[in-house]
Each structure stands twice: as C-alpha cells, then as structure tokens.
Amino acid sequence: MSTSSPKILLVKLSSLGDVLHNLPLVWDLRARLPDAQIDWVVEEAYVHLLEPLLSKDDFRGIDRIIPFGLRRWKKHLFELSTWKQFFSFKRHLQEISYDVVIETQGLLKSALVCALAKKSPNAVVAGLANATQFSGYEPLAKCFYNHQVQVPVQTHAVDRSRLVMCSAFDWLAIKRSDTPHFYASRIEVDLLKPSISQLKTPYVLFFHSTAREAKRWSNTAWVALGIELSNRGYQVVLPWGNAAEKAVSTVLAKQIPNALVPPAFSIEDAFAVIAGAALTVGVDTGLTHLAAVLGLPTVEIYCDSPRWKTEGYWAYHIRNVGDIGLSPDAAELIKVSVELLTRPA
C-alpha cells in the first residue's frame, strides 16, 4: 500500500443520520492523506448527502460515490432487471482495487459490500469488533473484516467512526477537541433558496416525526412552543415524510397561528429549506441532524434515545435537550429556542 496515496473505500450505506455522522472521515482523511483516492458506497436514497463533497475544481473530497440499491432490489428480487442492476453495481465497485476499506456500521449488508470490493494484496478491511449501545449490530459482520476494532459501548456516532478509521491506519485516536467537519462553508453559502413559495421569512422548522413513536415529543408541547414562536413573529413550518406524518403536521398547524404544512420535499430540497430557517427544532431524526451538521441554529430533542449517541457537540449554537426517559417540557424548549433566536449575530 502506498503510504501517501492509498485507495480508500468508505462503506456507510444508511440511514440519513448515520451517513451524516460519517462525513468527518472524508475531512480527516484528506487532512492526513491529501493525495488518497476516497470512494464511498451508500444507499441510493442518500447520494444527495454526499454530492456536496464530490471532488471538483480546486476542492478535493470524495472521488467516487457508488450508489447501492439494496432497499429497492429487495422489493423486486425475482426480476431480471434487479440482477442486472446488482451486477452493474458490482462492476462499478470493482473498477478500483482498494488498499483500505472502512466499514463503520457493523451490519451484515455493509460487510458483504466489503467482501465484494476488489482489494489489493494485504489490504486492510476495518470494522467494528463489538456492538455499541442503542445501535444496530450483527456479530456475523466481523467475520468479513481482517482488522476488528473494539470501541467503548457508549460512543458517539462520530467518535465511533473516527475510532475505526484511526485504527485502520494505526493513527492516534482523534479527540473531540479536533472539531469534526461535515460540509464546506462555501457549499453552505451556495445553497439554492427554498423553492416552497409559501415560506415566509423568518421561519422555524419543526421536525416532529421519527421512525420510532417513543422518540416523538408530545403534540401538546409542540403546540405550546409553536404558539410562543408564532407570537414572536416566526412562521412555524411542519414538514412531513408520509401520510401519517402529514396528518400530525396538519393537526399541529391548526393550533398554531399562521403555521404552514409545506408540500413534500426531497433530501436534496431539504438542504435549502433548512439553510433558510432561522431555527430548526426536531426530535432525534436525520433531518434534525442535517441542520446540526450544516452548522445552523438547531435544538435537538431527546425523549427515548440517549443524548450521548448523536448530540451535536461541535457548535455553540446547537442545543441538546432531554435524554432517554427524560423528555423535556415545553418551557425548557421555549427557553433554549428563544435564546438561539435572539442571540447576538
């Protein structure tokens, strides 16, 4: 393996928040190995999260994004087109022989991608040796690594990825004082304006929905916060991702003056919608974490998940409230939200 320009494959397939919390590896690797080739395999639904880091002009980030369609393929497993797409993915993946493969998810599907990848002699395939609390882990996955990395069972998602990467290269562990980087500031400045015509500046986003019902904050608390912010002159915007979430958004909007239930928007659109907000308030879910990694004013609400696992610790204008089993009340959210909205520029 070339010490100055290795070929590196990152394997982090999903989900939205997990992919975001893996982004610092690109910056960490570039800082230490500026001439390396860095490719990333990701579920096709999350390609847009990585596109701002594609290498272009004088910017060097990700050299290749390799989309993986497993979620879609599983629905059409017996169709010929599915297998044609799979073998096309395999050919694309195997165009490069990798010196280092870093898999930070600990799932069998991710480990199988590592096995499919073409590797140089003596290549390092690094992955998790153990489960961490409140994260998915499949012990069989470690059979596909030749470099198994033991991490503390209570480890933040960003720190866990960094530990696996550093061990793969035999580097000293990166400390939190080396602030993780996610997106370039110039990329944030260049984001398009939101295309939703009903948005009125200033507006606040409420990401109230999540895949697990126990992680939701109560509707009563959302309404109390929404009324307070509406009275202060902010339009409350209630995005949704499916019919059930839209129904909740509609119920909340009827109780908050001048609130908006916007049309559905994609992950790609979410960059602009979040960038234009005065504040994002949300439960422990991917779009809330997107606001945090973009370096924007964000309040992350933890009701039934541990704060230590995904809290935004890298910026002074991120507030993390609540914890597993300690759902915060509306008064606390009003206090921290108003602090962020009225803070000096």
The answer to whether position 256 is within a domain reads yes
Model pLDDT, residue 57: 85
Counting every residue written for the chain, the total comes to 345
Evaluate if residue 170 carries a pLDDT over 80: yes
- Domain finish residue from 140, 158, 187: 187
- Angle at alpha carbon of residue 319, lines to 314 and 324, rounded to 5°: 105
Token pair in block for residue 109: 């599907």
Model pLDDT, residue 118: 98
Q: Where are the alpha helices (DSSP H) in the chain?
A: 16-20, 24-32, 47-50, 70-73, 80-93, 108-116, 157-169, 185-189, 219-231, 243-253, 267-275, 286-293, 307-310, 330-341
Summarize the confidence of residues 36-46 as an average pLDDT. Answer: 97
Count of domains observed in the chain: 2
Summarize the confidence of residues 167-176 as an average pLDDT. Answer: 97
Q: 262 and 308 share a domain?
A: yes
- Domain finish residue from 171, 187, 203: 187
Q: 140 and 264 share a domain?
A: no
Q: 331 and 214 share a domain?
A: yes
Cis peptide before 15 (omega within 30 of 0): yes
The pLDDT > 70 percentage for the chain reads: 96
Question: Do 323 and 302 form a contact (C-beta atoms < 8 A)?
Answer: yes
Q: 100 and 222 share a domain?
A: no
- Of 2-6, 207-211, 235-239, the poorest mean pLDDT is in 2-6
The pLDDT > 90 percentage for the chain reads: 84
Model pLDDT, residue 195: 66
Evaluate if residue 304 carries a pLDDT over 70: yes
The answer to whether position 262 is within a domain reads yes
Edge-to-edge strand list for the sheet holding 7-11: 64-68, 37-43, 7-11, 98-103, 119-128, 147-149
CA distance 118 to 135: 28
Evaluate if residue 1 carries a pLDDT over 60: no
Q: 35 and 125 share a domain?
A: yes
Q: 183 and 246 share a domain?
A: no
Model pLDDT, residue 186: 56
The answer to whether position 1 is within a domain reads no
Question: Do 204 and 237 form a contact (C-beta atoms < 8 A)?
Answer: yes
Model pLDDT, residue 189: 44
Q: 151 and 51 share a domain?
A: yes
The CATH number given to whatever domain includes residue 264 is 3.40.50.2000
Q: 43 and 137 share a domain?
A: yes
Mean of the per-residue pLDDT values of the chain: 94
Evaluate if residue 90 carries a pLDDT over 80: yes
Q: Could you tell me the pLDDT band of residue 291, with boundaries at 50, 70 and 90?
A: very high
- Condensed to tens digits (0 to 9), the pLDDT of residues 263-283 reads 998 888 899 899 999 999 999
Question: Do 54 and 66 form a contact (C-beta atoms < 8 A)?
Answer: no
User: Domain limits at 58?
Assistant: 7-187
- Condensed to tens digits (0 to 9), the pLDDT of residues 174-211 reads 999 999 999 987 555 445 566 677 888 999 999 999 88
Q: 53 and 112 share a domain?
A: yes
Token pair in block for residue 152: 């503390």
Model pLDDT, residue 345: 66
Summarize the confidence of residues 286-298 as an average pLDDT. Answer: 95
The answer to whether position 2 is within a domain reads no
Residue 282 neighbours by CB under 8 Å, 6+ apart = 205, 206, 207, 208, 288, 291, 298, 299, 300, 301
- Domain finish residue from 187, 212, 238: 187
